[in-house]
Homo-oligomer: A and B are copies of this chain.
């Protein structure tokens, strides 16, 4: 990367130029310390221009038709004069080459649309890092004038929770056959969702999709109670046939209106900010501990002693903490 002029880059992002936006995201994703400093300067400069987009998470198991859905939804929104950004949280991408490609071939029509911006998942390792980069990329997209940010996740590990903690509205894509389907859904995810869309509701499949929607509705009632402040909407769509997308977006907007009552949106975002702060602090502390040579040396012995029942976990923790905190 050539020497970076933060002010120039900031102006480029604010004027909505895709190349500058892409470059800014690359800076945020860089692991170089000097780049990280510059990235934080850039973000501070741009923060006053962020926060105005509809932040929407999209999740669903592989095979549910996420790419087609996001492309269809993105094109629908562009048709309604929205500027759409698509980001992804995929912690598997570093390991397996990635199940979310985020490239031009996966959403060719949306990628070719000037009002849309698609960015693949950062390749940098652990969920914490991937999610942080995506969160900051979202802020950059907002500064660049994108009015809708779709954050996609494959649903690996804790990635839905990470996505839910950066968006305002969380959409889960499902398929007909909710009985089997529900089993495939990761534990706890039904508690995060604001809207469920049963995809592939076309042709012969429509009755099955409607039945699946009903099953989801009753599962949600059972799990979340009839008096929950927001009753998640469950509807059917066909991303391929481009049906049901308007109703889906109406539900997103309805959820947004509901969030704006009594300052819920601002409360949520404040809570999200605080919880990100502390999870990053915890992550940094653990990294410092594990990166401390005397600790790293002691860990295998301590773990072995704890696991074999020679010492208690309390004593093991005390040994590691002592090595770390009195390391100077």
Contact = CB atoms under 8 A, between A and B. Distances in A.
Given A276-B306, A280-B314, A285-B321, 10 more contacts: A40-B314, A43-B312, A51-B309, A132-B314, A135-B313, A277-B316, A282-B282, A284-B318, A284-B321, A285-B324
Contacts of A132: 313-314
Nearest to A327: B328
A277 B289 CA distance: 14
Given A182-B222, A223-B182, A282-B282, A136 B277 contact: no
Interface in A181-234: 182-183, 187-188, 191, 219, 222-226
A281 B321 contact: yes
A51 B309 CA distance: 9
Contact of A270 (B48, B136, B307): B307
Nearest to A227: B183
Contact of A309 (B47, B307, B320): B47
Contact of A40 (B43, B188, B309, B312): B312
Contact of A312 (B44, B320, B324): B44
A288 interface: yes
Interface in A293-328: 302-303, 306-307, 309-318, 320-321, 324-325, 328
Chain A interface size, as a band, is 35 or more
24 contacts: A40-B311, A40-B315, A40-B318, A43-B314, A44-B310, A47-B310, A136-B312, A183-B223, A183-B224, A183-B226, A187-B188, A270-B307, A273-B307, A273-B309, A273-B313, A274-B303, A274-B306, A277-B302, A277-B313, A280-B313, A280-B316, A281-B321, A285-B289, A328-B328
Given A281-B317, A317-B280, A309 B50 contact: yes
A179 interface: yes
Counting chain B CB atoms within 10 Å of each CB, the highest count among A44, A273, A324 belongs to A273
A10 interface: no
A314 B311 CA distance: 37
A317 B307 CA distance: 33
Nearest to A281: B317
Counting chain B CB atoms within 10 Å of each CB, the highest count among A183, A222, A306 belongs to A222
A215 to B, nearest CB: 8
A269 to B, nearest CB: 8
Nearest to A181: B222
Interface in A121-137: 132, 135-136
